Structure 1
Amino acid sequence: MVTHNHEVPIRLFQDRPEIAADLLARAVGTTIPLYTSAVSESEALTNCDPLELNCDNVAVFRNAFGKPVCAVITEIQRSEDKDKSYTWPMYLTNLRARLKCQAQLLVICTDEPTAKWARQLIKIGPPEFVLRPNVIGPGDLVRLIGGCDTREAVELLILVAATKEEGAGTESIARDLGRRLNELSEPDRKKYTGWAFQLLSTAACEILENEMSLRYEEYLETYAGQLELKGEARGEARGEVRGKAKAVLEMFELRGIEVSDVARERILACTDPEQADRWFTSAFSASTAEEIFD
């Protein structure tokens, strides 16, 4: 099932592919050839019709002449998956053959046990033909933050937030994020804040709002816009409406407005996406939960 904790990190790498090269160099000690541009490309790595292969993200780094010099496949790994020992080597060989350049695998793990599992050598078969994945765990991300500039620190903090199940324990992240987000340009601040709100707990969202002194209109624009992105990522109408209904309840919780059992059931039972949108918009100003039904 698609979750914010999986999708938001992928959006980070899609938005700025250079993150993959930075993390490989700083956390793993692996460098890629000199390049002048980095572009996110299709994550489809299928090489034949019967078998479809799709990774989480592909970043292609090109020289001044537009020729690929390196490609980095990024995977967001939340648990052990025995099939990855077979699909990861295929990802790399297929992409290497397609682009005619070296390919790297970067695995971002959301917990240390998964990171330990992902670091195991994958023995392909012939002598010395092995794959050693480049793996970064939550602890590695935290250690990197201190030496980063503001934008890089914000990106790493969002990745760390994505490692927290259901937004738990993200209050300290919210404080650090709030201070650093204030230093970014307006477009970047809105973009990263929208992603952060999808990952942080309710208490952490309140802390972030206070740290940033967000204007109410700005908060509405950011959160609502990213909610729509979540619906697109899931790609199912029922899941989209369900997500919007939950967002209405989350907004009331964030604002400290009590929701009766009757109102909660009515909101969650909504099947009309336009109705859910209207309720979500009304939830920002309603003084009671029942007001959104008027």
Structure 2
Amino acid sequence: MVTDSNLTTCDPPEFHADAVTLLRGTDGGKLAVITESQSAPPKRGKRRAWPAYVAVAQSQHDCDAVLVVIAASRATARACRRTVRTGHPGFNLDPIVIGPHNTPDPTNPAFAGVAPELTVLAALTHALDLTDAANRRMVLNNLATLDRETRTTYTRFVQHAASDAARKALEELMASPAYRDAFIDGFIAEGEARGEARGEAKILVRALEARGFTIPADLRARIQSCLDTDQLEAWFDKAMSADSIEAVFGD
């Protein structure tokens, strides 16, 4: 039976990958890397969506695309490695899977330049036993070498991946004199900075509204997401005398 050849849908499915990273080479080439994190074997519907992820990323970014799955156990890794067949000859997807079985060792001197990233990866795949005290110290030592923003992000990834007991032990170690300055004090300082920025953003929005300016949704989101207090103060100073909202935020 011949059916409708129009494959457009008025209610398109939504495809939400966990992360998409666009890599650029020195030769100008690009590669879209789609990352999916699986704590359990994926359901049939999830696996069937993965070829669509690759096709959509390839179309959107006009470059090749690959799917990388980070699996939290060997059983999950085995399930994720299975070929996703589309039915079209030669058009099948073999996901790239990173699990406990093939996670690079973050303590290997050959990987010293990316040890913090490999530490996080090993925590996510459970290749690293965070119930072991020596491993917890190694994790914090690697993460402590990073800038505050990156360290905060990576630490949250590790905490999320850890068991309740391991997370509690990590937090106790972070609060010890050896690590407090890098971790606990850093979190406190970050929270204070974010709180100050949110307060100044709220004041700026009120000032603009008081002057009768209409704030578009995208501009309001830009103000509320800004963590640079110097920039917020500069916008506020302009808002006090500007004739238009464009004069405040125009580059």
Q: Between Structure 1 and Structure 2, whose CA radius of gyration is higher?
A: 2
User: Deviations for 1:173-213, whole angstroms, at most 9, x for unmatched residues?
Assistant: 31111232344445544554455455442123323444843
Match status 1:178 vs 2:140: yes
Corresponding residue pairs, total: 176
Structure 2 residue aligned with 1:101: 63
Structure 1 residue aligned with 2:39: 78
Structure 2 residue aligned with 1:205: 171
Q: Tell me, what secondary structure is at the counterpart of 1:141? A: coil
User: Deviations for 1:131-188, whole angstroms, at most 9, x for unmatched residues?
Assistant: 11000002322535513125x2222222332345xx9625343111123234444554
Match status 1:219 vs 2:184: yes
Structure 2 residue aligned with 1:7: none
Distance (whole Å) between structure 1 residues aligned to residue 36 and residue 156 of structure 2: 22
Deviates more, 1:178-187 or 1:153-162: 178-187
Distance (whole Å) between structure 2 residues aligned to residue 51 and residue 101 of structure 1: 22
Distance (whole Å) between structure 2 residues aligned to residue 113 and residue 211 of structure 1: 39
Q: What amino acid is aligned across from residue 97 of structure 1 in structure 2? A: S
Structure 2 residue aligned with 1:135: 97
What percentage of aligned pairs have identical amino acids? 28
Distance (whole Å) between structure 1 residues aligned to residue 68 and residue 141 of structure 2: 29
Distance (whole Å) between structure 1 residues aligned to residue 121 and residue 176 of structure 2: 21
Distance (whole Å) between structure 2 residues aligned to residue 195 and residue 224 of structure 1: 19
CA distance 1:88–1:148, shift in 2 (3 Å): same
Distance (whole Å) between structure 2 residues aligned to residue 64 and residue 108 of structure 1: 27
Distance (whole Å) between structure 1 residues aligned to residue 154 and residue 26 of structure 2: 30
Q: What amino acid is aligned across from residue 169 of structure 2 in structure 1? A: A
Contact 1:89 1:131 in 2 (8 A): yes
User: Deviations for 1:73-123, whole angstroms, at most 9, x for unmatched residues?
Assistant: 000011112223210001111111222211100000011100011111112
Superposition deviation, residue 225 in structure 1: 5.4
CA distance 1:197–1:131, shift in 2 (3 Å): closer
Distance (whole Å) between structure 1 residues aligned to residue 29 and residue 18 of structure 2: 20
Q: Tell me, what secondary structure is at the counterpart of 1:214? A: coil
Q: Where do residues 1-294 of structure 1 align in structure 2 (5 Å cutoff)?
A: 49-62=11-24, 69-81=30-42, 82-143=44-105, 145-146=107-108, 147-150=110-113, 152-163=114-125, 169=131, 171-185=133-147, 188-198=150-160, 199=162, 200-210=166-176, 212-215=178-181, 219-222=184-187
Q: What amino acid is aligned across from residue 187 of structure 2 in structure 1? A: T
CA distance 1:139–1:210, shift in 2 (3 Å): farther
| Structure 1 residue runs without a partner (length 5+) | 1-46, 230-294
Contact 1:174 1:208 in 2 (8 A): no
Q: What amino acid is aligned across from residue 222 of structure 1 in structure 2? A: F
Higher relative contact order (CA 8 A, sep 6+): 1
Contact 1:178 1:211 in 2 (8 A): no
Distance (whole Å) between structure 1 residues aligned to residue 189 and residue 157 of structure 2: 11
The CA RMSD over aligned residues, in Å, is 3.3
